[in-house]
Amino acid sequence: MTFEQFAVARLPSLLRYAVVLTGDRDLAQDVVQEVLARAQVRWRRISDADSPEAYVRRMVLNEYLSWRRSWAARNVHAVGERLVDLDDARGGVGDHAQDVVEADELWHRLATLGRKQRAVLVLRYYEQLEDEAIADLIGCSPATVRSHASRALKTLRLTSERHTMIHAEETS
Amino acid sequence: MIDNGEKLREAFEKHETQTPDPAAVYARVQELSRTYQRRRWGAQAAGGAVLGAGLIAGVMTLPGLLPGQPSTDAGNAGIQAGAPAAPSPLPSLIKPKTPGSTPTVSAADLKREREREAFFNAGYDYDDAVELAKIWKMETDDIGSVKAAAGKKLLAGKKLPIEAGSAPEAPAPPTSKEDKQVDAFFNAGYDYDDAAELAKIWHKKTPYDAKVLGGKKLLAGETLPIQP
């Protein structure tokens, strides 16, 4: 398989994976571009791998985890603003749209997580990998994977509770 | 409420389609890979102008890659040192507006891509764009627009208010005492089910509280009432 054939077949899927992983369309683009550019230069070796796609997906994960500088802290500010907007909008939506609103809200809360914590949730619930496989990908023990996941889920809950409380105070 | 894999899957799957344009990504990939290849060979960079022209020509015409025409192995043929930029975007990634029509990219998209390209070629990156957004009071939701605005200034020969790669690093989040306790709990081999059982034994509100207390006890050298 040539690099061109690989890109035709797998680029849309890689971009979806990167969007879920980074939570940011623009950063996803930067990460995938960097990874594929390097993969293209080394394509002969990568195409010999058992699964070139798994290899490249792993490169995307590593690129995201080792992105030169942290962006999450800056992202949180924008997320906070978006959450207020979402809650304001929530008053006018019907019950049938509640799931959609909740999915949006959860998506924005995910941006408050650290990169490893987010990656663990993505690998576990989006890629549907076992903790052992996630541990292998991230380079830690399965216990650490469970620890990351536990803290991430706790953070998502705390954020939700805190936000609900603030919102209730503001509207009372 | 949140510790529900189904809800997380829904959130991921609902937003996974918010992807950038694959054709634009592929065009940039080819440009970057040529740069990497040249660095690898130790050759002098040919300069952004040739690449830019090749990119634009590729986006507009797609010669050699359209169905029915001979294909090239982009992994090998498209990265010759010093060679003019090969026409790049993949035909299947560019959807014609109407069946049978020639794929096109709008002039506005091309202009924006050129500006983005100028931004990257000057050595700036995502973090610099975030910093510039702050300085220019632009929205960080659309960093692509910030990159384009910065690239436009660079193409006009203007200087940006920060040097390339100079945006300050955000500090790594500190590991809290609670984090260390949870780590200790899992590192001892306990899992969620154990935490749920311990929460019952210790009358804790949630399994997470049991993980924290369990970790605290383990770090203090104590043993827990159940084995992992």
Q: Average model confidence (pLDDT) for chain B?
A: 71
pTM: 0.57
Given pLDDT bands bounded at 50, 70 and 90, which one contains residue B193? confident
User: pLDDT tens digits, residue range B64-98?
Assistant: 333 333 333 333 333 333 333 444 455 455 544 44
User: pLDDT tens digits, residue range B149-169?
Assistant: 999 999 999 999 998 878 765
| Domain positions in chain B | 19-101, 106-170, 177-219
CA distance B202 to B226: 12
CA distance B32 to B79: 10
Q: How many angstroms away from the CA of A133 is the closest CA of chain B?
A: 17
Which residues span the domain enclosing A115? 72-171
Are the Cβ atoms of B74 and A40 closer than 8 angstroms?
A: yes
Q: How many angstroms away from the CA of A86 is the closest CA of chain B?
A: 15
What confidence score (pLDDT) does residue B88 get? 46
What confidence score (pLDDT) does residue B41 get? 62
Same domain for A164 and A125, yes or no, is yes
pLDDT tens over chain A, length 172 residues: 899 999 989 999 999 999 999 998 888 998 999 899 989 888 888 888 889 999 999 999 988 887 754 444 434 433 433 333 334 344 444 554 666 777 888 898 898 898 899 999 999 999 999 999 999 988 888 898 999 998 898 888 744 333 333 333 333 3
CATH of the domain at A76: 1.10.10.10
Chain A neighbours among B 68-97 (CB < 8 Å)?
A: 71-76, 78-79, 90, 92-93
CB-nearest to A126 from B12, B33, B211 is: B12
What confidence score (pLDDT) does residue A80 get? 38
CA distance B169 to A71: 8
Question: Which is more confidently placed, B122 or B217?
Answer: B217
User: pLDDT tens digits, residue range B3-52?
Assistant: 568 889 989 988 998 888 898 889 888 888 877 776 666 544 444 444 44
Residue A130 per-residue DSSP state: -
Q: Is B141 an 8 Å CB contact of chain A?
A: yes
Closest of A123, A170, A171 to residue A146, by C-alpha: A123
Q: How many angstroms away from the CA of B157 is the closest CA of chain A?
A: 25
Same domain for A38 and A78, yes or no, is no
Whether the per-residue pLDDT at B216 is higher than 60: the answer is: yes
Last residue within a domain, chosen from A65, A85, A104? A65
| Residue of B25, B65, B198, B219 to mutate when probing chain A, most A C-beta within 10 A | B25
What confidence score (pLDDT) does residue A81 get? 36
What confidence score (pLDDT) does residue B215 get? 92
Closest of B43, B114, B117 to residue B79, by C-alpha: B43
Chain length of chain B? 228
Q: Which residues of B touch A47 (CB under 8 A)?
A: 75
**Nearest-Cα residue of chain A relative to residue B15:** A20
Please give the share of chain B, as a percent, with pLDDT higher than 70: 63
What confidence score (pLDDT) does residue A13 get? 93
Same domain for A61 and A76, yes or no, is no
Q: How many angstroms away from the CA of A167 is the closest CA of chain B?
A: 18
The number of domains in chain A is: 2
How crowded is residue A118: how many other Cβ atoms within 10 Å of its Cβ? 22
Same domain for A93 and A23, yes or no, is no
